[in-house]
């Protein structure tokens, strides 16, 4: 067995991964620059990125990775056009692509959610571009180290492939993931399900792993949870459901809904489950894209929600506004952004307040 655990583990030291709705010190991003991810539409994707930054920077610091001076200048120009007003900090940390959720460090805090002063720890997992699909990825794999060094927080690395978009936590001991992704042999073929659960518990300070099945059609990550089901409060989830029996997402999402119905929290209380609609299919050159409202990002005062110019947009935003009454739900069209096979949650990585 490879991927030995550090000693002591973060869990043994009292660390845990906080929920996304817990206070952020900042959000970290990587500026989109890979033409192959948005063929012919890169600038349009960058403008959507700028709109996201404008909405987010009103309530928290935003860090942005750029490859060089020219890229920083281009980003600043777009941010000015989008009227970004807030604390935005650029870093000359080169990347291969823009998906900071998956290549960024996953940060832990020490102490319960009720404490306001908590130590932070960066966990650095191996990144292989979703099963070696898009080499090279060496620059992306180095981003967690650079983030931790810049923030001057301790870092613990583990030789196990894990992307931030493949997990979600409620901050109170529960972790959601999917078998389609974490048990895929293109990630950690040397590790069993029990091995993976042990590493998630010890590295992220969680108590119980909740496994869903397949992801949505078009998701090149092999079933990331952040396109399917998300925690919105301790023991409470919102999950994407497709109402059209003829749609290819109908079966896997209904199966996941059935699995959620049988899941419980640490006190054996059933999870509270709220459903979220799916947008109508978004297709590019015959390819179904992974458009999902579940790919929202919870900021300090906003919930950034991808929209797709279809009737379900309003219902999705209304559902999320009900779930987050103290935050403003901001819908931003992601029809272009999702050409790159991701949206707001895929682009962001929260830095918890510590």
**What is Dmax (Cα atoms) for the chain?**
54
Q: Which residues contact 117 (CB under 8 A, 6 or more apart)?
A: 354
What are the DSSP calls for 148-163, one per residue? Answer: HHHHT--EEEEEEE--
pLDDT of amino acid 119:
82
pLDDT of amino acid 228:
99
pLDDT of amino acid 114:
53
Could you read off the pLDDT of 74-116 as tens digits, one per residue?
999 999 999 999 999 999 999 999 999 999 999 999 976 555 4
Phi, psi of 179 (to 5 degrees): -65, -35
Element (H, E) at 198: helix 193-204
pLDDT of amino acid 278:
99
Q: SS3 for 212?
A: strand
Is the pLDDT at 154 greater than 80? The verdict is yes
CATH topology of domain 15-352: 3.75.10
Q: In what order do the strands lie in the sheet with 349-352?
A: 88-91, 61-65, 24-30, 349-352
pLDDT of amino acid 133:
98
Give the angle subtended at the CA of 293 by the CAs of 342 and 309, to the nearest 5°. 90
pLDDT of amino acid 214:
98
Q: Catalytic annotation on 346?
A: yes
Whether this model's pTM surpasses 0.85: yes
pLDDT of amino acid 117:
42
Averaged over 263-290, what is the pLDDT? 98
Task: State the helix-helix crossing angle for 42-56 and 69-81, rounded to 10 degrees.
Answer: 70
Averaged over 19-26, what is the pLDDT? 98
Residue where the block lists tokens 């947009």: 313
Please give the C-alpha separations between residue 90 and each of 141, 142, 257, 327, in angstroms, as whole numbers.
19, 17, 41, 26
């Amino acid at each position: 067995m490879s991927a030995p655990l550090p000693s002591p583990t973060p869990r043994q030291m009292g660390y845990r991964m906080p929920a996304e709705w817990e206070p952020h010190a900042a959000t970290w991003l990587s500026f989109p620059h890979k033409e192959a991810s948005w063929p012919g539409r890169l600038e349009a994707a960058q403008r959507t990125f700028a709109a996201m930054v404008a909405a987010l920077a009103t309530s928290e610091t935003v860090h942005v990775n750029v490859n060089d001076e020219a890229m920083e200048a281009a980003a600043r120009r777009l941010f000015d056009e989008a009227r970004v007003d807030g604390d935005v900090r650029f870093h000359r940390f080169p990347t291969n692509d823009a998906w900071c959720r998956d290549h960024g460090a996953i940060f832990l805090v020490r102490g319960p959610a009720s404490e306001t002063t908590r130590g932070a720890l960066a966990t650095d997992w191996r990144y292989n571009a979703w099963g070696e699909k898009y080499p090279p990825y060496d620059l992306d794999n180095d981003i967690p180290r650079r983030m931790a060094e810049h923030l001057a927080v301790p870092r613990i690395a583990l030789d196990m492939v894990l992307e931030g978009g493949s997990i979600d936590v409620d901050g109170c001991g529960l972790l959601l993931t999917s078998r389609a992704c974490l048990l895929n042999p293109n990630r950690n073929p040397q590790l069993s399900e029990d091995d993976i659960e042990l590493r998630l518990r010890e590295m992220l300070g969680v108590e119980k792993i909740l496994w869903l099945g397949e992801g949505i059609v078009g998701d090149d990550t092999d079933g990331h949870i952040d396109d399917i089901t998300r925690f919105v409060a301790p023991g409470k989830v919102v999950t994407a459901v497709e109402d059209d029996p003829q749609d290819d997402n109908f079966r896997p999402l209904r199966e996941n809904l059935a699995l959620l119905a049988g899941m419980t929290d640490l006190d054996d209380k059933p999870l509270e489950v709220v459903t979220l609609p799916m947008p109508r299919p978004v297709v590019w050159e015959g390819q179904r894209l992974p458009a999902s409202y579940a790919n929202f990002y919870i900021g300090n005062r906003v919930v950034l929600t991808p929209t797709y110019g279809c009737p379900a947009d309003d219902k999705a935003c209304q559902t999320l506004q009900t779930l987050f009454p103290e935050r403003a739900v901001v819908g931003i069209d992601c029809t272009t952004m999702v050409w790159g096979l991701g949206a707001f949650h895929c682009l962001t990585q929260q830095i918890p307040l510590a």
